[in-house]
Chains A and B, each alone.
Chain A
Amino acid sequence: MITGTVAEREFTKAQKYPIPAHRGVWFPKGMPDIKHGRDRRFKQEVNLPKEILEGDAEDLENVGRPISANPRITEADKKNDQTSLERELPRTLYLLLKQNGQWKFPTFQLENDETALNQVAENGLRQLGGDNINTWSVSGTPAAVIKYVNGNILPYGTSVDHEGVSREYLMKSHVVAGQFVPQQGKGVEEYKWLVKEEIQPLVEKPYFDQVRHLLAQI
């Protein structure tokens, strides 16, 4: 039966498990006393599996070549290239843009009430970053809403009977493939792909307080 990981199977194969007692068989070191696959009379011996190093890892013709994993630290990590999507592989990256001298998630104006919010977000992203990016919008429901009064963010739980309240809806979508290539004349000064901890010092504190709970830790 093939069960467990490759490492578990290698470990099991390397062990020398004791032979159980049989009637009519003479054991030179006495009758075995086996509990849970271990002879209780002796100290347990654990054999670590030897690494298989046969052949060249680069030799693609050799089926039995040793497996070598690709590095988890990429070129972009070494150069700290924050515009690359090939960085921080185990983490979730978020796209931040510098528009009008301010770092924020990509923001678009809602022209009419006919178009769905997620459609507006998808179309706007294409205009800023070109058609070369393939995204999938998760839902038509916004993940959050940020309310502004006279350009200042209203904290959560504040009543909103003010006249001049403007709202920003945060729509979630995933990048499936492609690249964000900033288009000329669309007001994108800079762009970065960042993890949660890198977003905090970049954006303003009231803005980060509004989106902190939405960002993935991993």
Chain B
Amino acid sequence: MSFNSRRTFSTTAAAFKVGCAMVKPVHHKVKIRKKFLSPRFPELKIDPSDIRSPKYKPYLTQPDRVKDYYHNTLKSDLLLVGYRHDQVKVEGVKRRQWDMTSPYHLNRPLRKPRGQVVPSPDIQPRDWRNVPQFETITLNCWVKEAKLKPQMAIAGSLQLQQMTGCKTKPIYAKTNVPTWKVRPGMKMGAKVTLAGKYASQFLTTLTEIVLPRIRDFKGISNKAGDRYGNIAFGLQPEHIKFFPEIENNQDSWPQTFGVDITLHTSAQTDADARILLSALGIPFAGTERVPKNLLNDVKESTIDSNVEDVKSVETVKAVKASEPVS
């Protein structure tokens, strides 16, 4: 008996045991949420998006005109404006293989992409899923005077809070530049990222109140942009006074600080981002340069003469009504 029950390589020990469970032990895998089993707190079972739930937080508390305009009018227009037949994917610059001339190339991480450090993403043909959308605004206020007078960084931070109504984060110097008397760790100002209703509110203030009152403002440079659909520009200290939050309380602001503003969009190229932002009321000026790799994104058999037309910036105007014309 003892000989037979000895463990061999062809059998398992469990097969000889009596009373082993035939039911798979699911209790390891299925998470049991006690709040659904217990009758004690019925309101905890309600979804937090339900107004009866104690976790409910209202978020649609005010109309957002920028968002409404985008979803009702702009999105379908941008799809048509950016659409071209037989558009093909434009490959981004990717990491390269080593040429294996040296045995040390084996298992090495790939080479850097040509001309840049990080690879760039592919540019997909326009379809209804990748219509550019306005996402966030970043305001960055670097106060030069703060290297000698540290309290000026706080004033810059307060100015950003006054303009946006959002809590700011401090920014610090990163490098040591003895001629500029900058050392790492010095607090040099503040930044804030706006999203949702705060971003819409700020954009409206910018396009309807501030930018029209700047005398020498022709438009944001068409050369601005980081190639991936984010457009940045700067406002001088005297332009900050046009913000109504600052202007209505001028005595408290003897000194204002310039701000760098970055408009983040989900566009794949800067040209697409400019079309979107001009539709939201931001003017652009100057000559525009289209990157070479974007010029041949249509199948060769269907290249027509209006490629340049599509690339140029178009301004979408405010609309009252629309009518398809057949």
A residues sitting closer than 8 Å to B (CB atoms) are 1-5, 8, 85, 92-95, 104-108, 121-122, 124-125, 136, 138-141, 143-144, 146, 168-177, 193, 211, 214, 216, 218
Contacts and interface: CB of A to CB of B under 8 A. Distances in A.
Given A174-B322, A175-B321, 19 more contacts: A1-B161, A85-B321, A92-B321, A106-B326, A107-B326, A138-B77, A141-B80, A144-B324, A172-B77, A172-B80, A173-B324, A174-B319, A174-B321, A175-B319, A175-B322, A175-B323, A176-B320, A214-B324, A216-B76
B98 interface: no
B111 to A, nearest CB: 40
Interface in B238-252: 244-245, 248
Nearest to B158: A1
Interface of B: 61-62, 72-73, 76-77, 80-81, 83-85, 161-162, 165, 244-245, 248, 306, 309, 316-326
A174 to B, nearest CB: 4
Given A4-B165, A139-B80, A140-B306, A121 B319 contact: no
A139 B81 contact: yes
23 contacts: A2-B244, A2-B248, A8-B61, A93-B320, A93-B321, A93-B323, A95-B321, A105-B325, A107-B326, A108-B326, A136-B319, A139-B83, A143-B324, A146-B326, A171-B326, A172-B322, A175-B319, A175-B320, A175-B323, A176-B317, A193-B321, A216-B72, A218-B72
A125 B316 CA distance: 20
Nearest to A96: B323
Do most interface residues of chain A lie in helix, strand or loop, or is the interface mixed?
mixed
A62 B306 CA distance: 56
B317 A173 contact: no
B156 to A, nearest CB: 15
Contact of A173 (B72, B306, B323): B323
A183 B77 CA distance: 29
B320 A170 contact: no
B309 A92 contact: no
A141 B84 contact: yes
A105 B321 contact: no
A193 B322 CA distance: 10
Contacts of A104: 326
A169 B83 contact: no
A5 B62 contact: yes
Closest 7 CB pairs of A and B: A3-B165, A121-B325, A139-B80, A174-B319, A95-B323, A93-B321, A170-B324
B71 to A, nearest CB: 8
B326 A138 contact: no
Given A1-B161, A1-B162, A140-B306, A94 B325 contact: no
B245 A2 contact: yes
Contacts of B322: 92-94, 138, 172-175, 216
A213 B162 CA distance: 44
Nearest to B83: A141
A140 B321 contact: no
Nearest to A217: B72
A216 B73 CA distance: 8
Contacts of A174: 317, 319-322
